[in-house]
């Protein structure tokens, strides 16, 4: 596969995963803000901005922050910017994806470009809900129409790396506050924060099926970080990334294990054998920072191995 094609497939998938993640956090934050005091609402916006690795604007009022994270094309991580970037990557490799994939992505692009902040602010779920559904539908269409060749694995790889990194960042931001809540904090506010974190990963129902409705921060940390069966957990995403890298190595006929595979295997082993009580006792912030750093290293290794490799490297691979 041409490196430019692999690069476009990988980034198309990463951008769409980022779109779904951003839409989910904005939908949840805006709906929660309806029942919160201004001070609590500002704290929620701070958590949301930090979870999206976005700089704080001058004001934390809902209207300008929503505009910045949704429609501001100067913000490269806004919803509109990510959808535009995903569509442009898809356009460049139009012959490598199915017609149904292109139609779904193009429809999402046209729908979002025709909206404005005034039309969505009063009913955010009516706007962000369909965006999440469109991203899920694109994933389903991809799995239903694309051959299981190198292209499909680059799409899976992009989604997995983006999801692992984004979930680790989300957990890092939220768990630092949840695990250090003062004892005088009301139990009701604790519960709302726990539910918000689980819903940020579309995992509230799955958590209740596993642990019942007994919400505890250490259990939430274990579930979203180390559970091998939860699609939104960091461990599940890293497992998926390693599987895709192994498949790509086999399909490309590589004669030795590449750096990206070694790094993914190392991170997977860390998550396989980690215990949540030990992570919390040592320093969960450092652990999650290391996960994010490892995801970044895997991304760089993928780029060097499959996108920007030299002719000499290709000959000895």
d(CA 52, CA 162): 12
Q: Domain check: are 120 and 155 in the same one?
A: no
Residues 135 and 162 in one domain: no
pLDDT at 315 (0 to 100):
45
Domain match, 39 and 69 both: yes
**Same domain as 155, residue 263:** yes
Residue 43 and residue 66 share a domain: yes
Which of 97, 113, 146 is the C-terminal boundary of a domain? 146
Where does residue 167 rank: exposed (0-12), middle (13-18), buried (19+ CB within 10 A)? buried
Taking alpha carbons only, the member of 233, 37, 27 closest to residue 124 is 27
Separation of first and last alpha carbons in the chain? 15
Structure tokens that stand for 305 in this block: 């191995």
DSSP secondary structure of 155-166: HHHHHHHHHHHH
Quickly count: other Cβ atoms within 10 Å of residue 62's Cβ: 20
- Per the model's pLDDT, the better-predicted residue between 281 and 188 turns out to be 281
Average pLDDT on 296-304 reads 96
> What is the pLDDT at residue 314?
47
Residue 89 to residue 78: CA distance in whole angstroms? 17
> With 70 as the cut, is the pLDDT of residue 180 above it?
no
d(CA 128, CA 200): 13
pTM, entire model: 0.92
Mean pLDDT, all residues of the chain: 91
112 and 178 together in one domain: no
Place of tokens 């803000």: 33
Name, in order, each residue with C-beta under 8 angstroms of 180's C-beta and a sequence gap of 6 or more: none
Same domain, 156 and 273: yes
> Are residues 165 and 313 part of one domain?
yes
One domain for residues 280 and 172: yes
Using a 10 angstrom Cβ sphere, with 0-12 exposed, 13-18 middle and 19 or more buried, the burial of residue 243 is middle
Q: How far is CA 89 from CA 85, 95, 153, in A?
A: 6, 12, 16
Looking up tokens 């009301």 gives 186
Q: What is the H or E stretch that residue 303 is in?
A: none
Among the candidates 120, 146, 172, a domain finishes at 146
Say yes or no: 99 and 242 in one domain.
Answer: no
Residue 182 has pLDDT above 70, yes or no: no
Looking at residue 309, what is its pLDDT? 67
Instruction: With beta carbons less than 8 A apart as the criterion, state whether 90 and 10 touch.
Output: no
Place of tokens 């082993």: 269
Closest CA to 199 of 10, 30, 80: 30
162 shares a domain with 114: no
Same domain, yes or no: 189 and 306: yes
Given this model, what pLDDT does residue 193 score? Answer: 86
- Is residue 6 within 8 A of residue 307, CB to CB? The reply is yes
Last residue of a domain, one of 95, 116, 146: 146
Query: What whole-number distance in Å separates Cα of residue 6 and Cα of residue 308?
Result: 11
The structural domain count of the chain equals 2
Confidence of residue 36 (pLDDT cuts 50, 70, 90): confident
Opening angle at CA 3, ends 135 and 1, nearest 5: 85
Which range marks the domain in which residue 255 is found?
Answer: 148-317
pLDDT tops 70 at residue 70? yes
Give the pLDDT confidence of 210-237 residue by residue, as tens digits: 998 889 999 999 999 999 999 999 999 9
């Amino acid at each position: 596969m041409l490196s430019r094609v692999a690069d476009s497939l990988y980034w198309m998938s990463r951008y769409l995963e980022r779109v779904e993640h951003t839409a989910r956090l904005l939908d949840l934050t805006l709906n929660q803000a309806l029942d919160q005091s201004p001070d609590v609402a500002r704290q929620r916006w701070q958590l949301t901005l930090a979870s999206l690795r976005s700089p704080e604007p001058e004001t934390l009022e809902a209207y300008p922050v929503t505009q910045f994270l949704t429609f501001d094309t100067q913000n490269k991580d806004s919803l509109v910017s990510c959808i535009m970037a995903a569509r442009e990557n898809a356009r460049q490799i139009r012959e490598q994806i199915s017609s149904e994939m292109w139609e779904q992505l193009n429809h999402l692009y046209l729908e979002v470009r025709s909206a404005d902040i005034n039309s969505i602010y009063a009913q955010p779920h009516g706007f962000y809900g369909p965006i999440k559904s469109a991203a899920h539908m694109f994933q389903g269409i991809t799995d239903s129409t694309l051959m299981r060749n190198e292209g499909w694995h680059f799409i899976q790889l992009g989604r997995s790396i983006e999801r692992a990194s984004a979930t680790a960042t989300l957990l890092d931001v939220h768990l630092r506050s949840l695990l250090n809540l003062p004892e005088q904090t009301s139990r009701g506010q604790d519960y709302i924060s726990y539910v918000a974190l689980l819903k940020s990963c579309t995992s509230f129902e799955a958590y209740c099926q596993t642990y019942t409705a007994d919400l505890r921060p250490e259990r939430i940390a274990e579930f979203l970080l180390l559970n091998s069966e939860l699609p939104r957990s960091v461990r599940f995403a890293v497992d998926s990334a390693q599987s895709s890298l192994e498949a790509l190595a086999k399909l490309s006929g590589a004669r030795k294990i590449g750096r990206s595979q070694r790094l993914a295997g190392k991170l997977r082993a860390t998550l396989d054998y980690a215990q949540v009580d030990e992570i919390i006792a040592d320093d969960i912030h450092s652990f999650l920072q290391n996960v994010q750093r490892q995801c970044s290293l895997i991304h760089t290794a993928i780029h060097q191995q499959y996108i920007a490799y030299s002719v000499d490297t290709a000959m000895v691979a």
